[in-house]
Chain A
Amino acid sequence: MRNLPAFLYAGLIYGFIFLPVIVLVLFSFQESRVPVPPFDGPSLKWYDAFLSDDRVVEALLNSVIVAMASSAVSVVLGFLAAFSLARHRVRMGGLLQGLLTAPLTVSYLIIAMGLLITFNMLGIPKSLLTIGIGHVVINLPLCFAIIFSQMGAHQANMERAARDLGAREWQVLALVTVPLLWPALFAAFFLSVTFSWDEFIIAFMVSRFEVTLPVEIWSMLRTGLNPQTNAVGSFVFLVSVAIVFLLDMVLFRKKKT
């Protein structure tokens, strides 16, 4: 039993991390109107309630649009930046690389404030577009870093071989570089999707009438605790878990072959 302290420690850590999530999910199945013990479920009535709430459904669709569009843009821009920095001698390449990854170290609150001021200055109205731009700002560095790290010399040789066999530059990218980088592009895209999906601060500060799901949850919370909020929260969480799971499956399958 000399492992007992270790078990206790592990139990406490995992409890600390996962208990809030478990409580959230558990009370989304609550029967009565308040999400506090005792648990009197299970019931799916709050899921039914949020799915028939137009505002929540609209926010959910907004979230999907923003996540997909901003992630796609981040992956494309990150890929092109990584390709140019990895394959060409770029003047002050090291500095450019540093500037591209620097936003990873800046707090979302600061980025959100900066964006807010910039959008005001430029007269761009707050909308899904501004949220999307904000999410590209935070996800582009991530996409760039993931894709750049996977561009090895071995692939450069294959690109060389493709050129040697008569491929034009776009054909090299489409037929060799992208297919070879597929796992990295896939990982970058879905990680971006999960980050965009539950991002709150930027979405909150640069949005007005069209909001994403986390912002909608926050406004629901202001009117007090309610199992419907739990249901929406659980839904957001489950989608994130599903994406991470999918990512894991695909990347592991790739690794085995």
Chain B
Amino acid sequence: MNALAVEFRAIGMSFGTKVAVKDINLSVQRGDYVVLLGPSGGGKTTLLNILGGFLTPTAGRVLIDGADVTDIAPAKRPTTTVFQDYALFPHMTVAGNVGFGLKMQSLPKAEQSPRIAQALEMVGLAHLAGRRIHELSGGQRQRIALARALAVEPTVLLLDEPLGALDMKLRRQMQEELKAIQKRVGTTFVHVTHDQEEAMAIADVIVVMNDGFIEDLGPPERIYLRPASRFTATFMGESNLFDGKVTAVNGDRLTVEAAFGQFEITGPGEEGQEVCLVVRPEHLSSSSDENRSGRQLLLGQGRIEETGFFGTHHQCLVQLAGHGALIRLRLPQRAAPQIGDSLELFADPSDIAVVPR
């Protein structure tokens, strides 16, 4: 048994003159829930199609479970897909859909039924086995598509924006369910989405893709708190960017100079390098906060330009003196900020991430 479920080796794909993905190297550990995240046109769906066998890459090799599958048709690959529109067969019953893959494997009828029942049990829809597809709700269809793909016990399950057609509440609920099912069956999942909240909620590993390249790769916390690139920092959640310059390097400790002063932070960099400092809205605090610790760095004086109540917090846009773009920050529920209020902004240097400019 191979520790790597999937390996992309120098994968490239172009359609005519248009390059969709370029020189992708990516390894997926067995049993991981991997999310390919990025804006549309970023190449994530192309990569998924290459893995599923629907596209043959113009360069590089694809390995599944250590075996080269680059030239193998989808039917013969140990992968199955949950399609965005589910692509369930409307002329078959739910059980007929879930059992389709088993029937294609010429499994004896007697062995098919328990496997179908088991797959339906897993998604909690055993009572719908005899129904027709058009009698199901959107969420139920999604689950049946999942059961159909998992019934054949693939090495890797591919999910192509599987939650895109669901409303927000159902989507959040299905995220938890997908994650739970993946942990239970232990199959490697590769999931494509453009929803960064969805990615953070379910992934073991997030692969951020943009413009055919892998921008960043790692566990959600790392990607969010220590983004590797400016693109990742702005694509994953909200962030405020400040320009800075590395003045000294001591191991992984950097001394950085910015408009609001000189300070020490942790991160990659070289002496003299122009960098971007990433500060998340929730890491900014104002002078009106009571429980502010002493290690805070003063960013400057600002004026509230816009404010909105989001339930858990107030989201404010602040004009910081001497800074071009408006700063986003979150104030506590009880803060009751008003437009025109002026405040001092503080941040803890250990919360600040540094990315190349």
| B201 lies within 8 A of chain A by Cβ | no
| B152: A residues at CB distance < 8 A | 165-166
| Beta-carbon contact of A176 and B75 below 8 Å | no
Interface flags, B268-287, vs A, CB<8A=1, else 0: 00000000000000000000
Give the Cβ gap from B269 to chain A, nearest Cβ, in Å.
45
Most B CB contacts (10 A, CB to CB) among A164, A171, A179, A182 go to A164
| Beta-carbon contact of B100 and A162 below 8 Å | yes
| B80 lies within 8 A of chain A by Cβ | yes
| Beta-carbon contact of B54 and A160 below 8 Å | yes
Interface flags, B61-101, vs A, CB<8A=1, else 0: 00000000000011110011101010111110000000011
Bound CA–CA A166/B73 (angstroms): 9
Give the Cβ gap from B9 to chain A, nearest Cβ, in Å.
23
Supposing A165-B80, A166-B152 touch, asked if A157 and B87 sit within 8 A by C-beta, the answer is: yes
Interface flags, A164-205, vs B, CB<8A=1, else 0: 111110010001100110100000000000000000000000
| Beta-carbon contact of A180 and B91 below 8 Å | yes
| Beta-carbon contact of B101 and A154 below 8 Å | no
| Beta-carbon contact of A165 and B101 below 8 Å | yes
Give the Cβ gap from B144 to chain A, nearest Cβ, in Å.
12
| A171: B residues at CB distance < 8 A | 104
Interface flags, A117-159, vs B, CB<8A=1, else 0: 0000000000000000000000000000000000000100110
| Beta-carbon contact of B91 and A179 below 8 Å | yes
| A105 lies within 8 A of chain B by Cβ | no
Q: Which residues of A in the span 208-257 have a Cβ within 8 Å of any Cβ on B?
A: 257
| Beta-carbon contact of B87 and A163 below 8 Å | no
| Contact among A157, A165, A179 for B100, CB-based, below 8 A | A165
Supposing A160-B54, A160-B83 touch, asked if A167 and B91 sit within 8 A by C-beta, the answer is: no
| Beta-carbon contact of A165 and B104 below 8 Å | yes
| B88: A residues at CB distance < 8 A | 158, 161
The interface residues of chain A, by DSSP majority, are classed as helix
Bound CA–CA A174/B2 (angstroms): 37
| Beta-carbon contact of A180 and B90 below 8 Å | yes
Bound CA–CA A135/B110 (angstroms): 48
| Beta-carbon contact of B73 and A161 below 8 Å | no
Interface size class of B (residues with CB under 8 A): 20 to 34
Give the Cβ gap from B62 to chain A, nearest Cβ, in Å.
15
Give the Cβ gap from B123 to chain A, nearest Cβ, in Å.
16
User: How many residues of chain A have a CB within 8 Å of chain B?
Assistant: 19
Residue of B nearest to A169 (CB): B75
Residue of A nearest to B79 (CB): A164
Supposing A176-B89, A179-B91, A180-B91 touch, asked if A161 and B104 sit within 8 A by C-beta, the answer is: no
Give the Cβ gap from A255 to chain B, nearest Cβ, in Å.
13
| Beta-carbon contact of A157 and B83 below 8 Å | yes
| B137 lies within 8 A of chain A by Cβ | no
| Beta-carbon contact of B73 and A163 below 8 Å | yes
| Beta-carbon contact of A166 and B104 below 8 Å | yes
| B134: A residues at CB distance < 8 A | 257
| A182: B residues at CB distance < 8 A | 91
Bound CA–CA A157/B90 (angstroms): 12
| B226 lies within 8 A of chain A by Cβ | no
Q: Which residues of A in the span 81-109 have a Cβ within 8 Å of any Cβ on B?
A: none
| A168: B residues at CB distance < 8 A | 75, 104
Q: Which residues of B in the span 327-341 have a Cβ within 8 Å of any Cβ on A?
A: none
Most A CB contacts (10 A, CB to CB) among B73, B85, B104 go to B104
| Beta-carbon contact of B83 and A166 below 8 Å | no
Give the Cβ gap from A177 to chain B, nearest Cβ, in Å.
11
| Beta-carbon contact of A160 and B75 below 8 Å | no
| Contact among B75, B83, B90, B148 for A167, CB-based, below 8 A | B75
| A165: B residues at CB distance < 8 A | 75, 80, 100-101, 104, 148-149, 152
| Beta-carbon contact of B87 and A158 below 8 Å | yes
Bound CA–CA A179/B97 (angstroms): 14
| Beta-carbon contact of B85 and A163 below 8 Å | no
| Beta-carbon contact of A161 and B75 below 8 Å | no
| Beta-carbon contact of B105 and A161 below 8 Å | no
Bound CA–CA A160/B158 (angstroms): 14
| Contact among B52, B87, B101 for A166, CB-based, below 8 A | B101
Q: Which residues of B in the span 120-171 have a Cβ within 8 Å of any Cβ on A?
A: 134, 148-149, 152
| Contact among B79, B81, B91 for A161, CB-based, below 8 A | B81
* 10 A–B contacts, CB within 8 A, in A order: A154-B85, A157-B87, A158-B88, A161-B87, A164-B80, A164-B81, A168-B104, A171-B104, A180-B89, A180-B90
